[in-house]
A = this chain, B = another copy of it.
Amino acid sequence: MGEPAGEPAQHDAADDWRQMKDVELTPILSASLDAFYELGYHGTTVREVARRVGVTVPALYYHHDSKEGLLIALLELSTADVLARAHDADAAGGDDPVQRLANVIEAIVLRMTNRARLASLEGEVRYLSAENRQRYRAVRKGIEEVVLRIVQDGTASGAFDVDDPAETTRALLGMCQSIPRWYHAEGTLSPEEVAKKYAAIALKTVGAH
């Protein structure tokens, strides 16, 4: 969109959830993300991450106590970012479940398409220790709750026609989460186009009218 020429840049806080600035990663986490993406979690060694970032292994251990610590740090940054955006997108929809759901799906899909590498770490969650997996799931549950509340509100008000709000919520998140699998490979659409299409599909899925 860009700012109107000649006018001072205005910061529209209500639209922040659409802006996809890079998640700020430390050099160590940035190198970890590259390595996990290219080599997989199990194929990555702490030594390899240290090599990529140009520090010694002990220096790396000073900041992160294990390879699992690196994965957890990335997952938490990534999930916290999408959770914050989902909340803002929800709030920007006011009282209208249709607008709220469209916004939240748009926010989630924008992140899946713009940050496919970070989003694809999700597939590595099963390698975490039981304790860390639980901790991570609790954060992710927050995103599920945002969507579930909208689906429930829309169903209660008659704006949506949904039989099973919990399962429908999971299906909606599932369609978004699968996007990184094909987006890079075949994407001729911009992230914004994909996001708008998925928002429309989500509204059909909840029988919005």
Contacts and interface: CB of A to CB of B under 8 A. Distances in A.
Interface of A: 39-44, 120, 122-127, 137, 161-164, 167-168, 170-179, 181-182, 185, 194, 197-198, 200-201, 204-207
B170 A182 contact: yes
Counted per complex, copies of this chain come to: 2
B168 A127 contact: no
Contacts of A162: 204
A189 B21 CA distance: 40
Contacts of A197: 164, 167
A44 to B, nearest CB: 8
A206 B171 CA distance: 14
A177 B182 CA distance: 12
* Nearest 8 CB-CB pairings of A with B: A42-B43, A174-B178, A40-B42, A174-B175, A171-B175, A123-B123, A205-B205, A175-B175
Contacts of A178: 170, 173-175, 177-178
22 contacts: A39-B42, A40-B40, A40-B41, A40-B43, A41-B43, A42-B43, A120-B126, A123-B123, A125-B181, A164-B200, A167-B201, A168-B201, A170-B178, A170-B182, A171-B198, A171-B201, A173-B178, A174-B174, A174-B178, A175-B178, A177-B181, A204-B207
Contacts of A204: 161-162, 168, 204-207
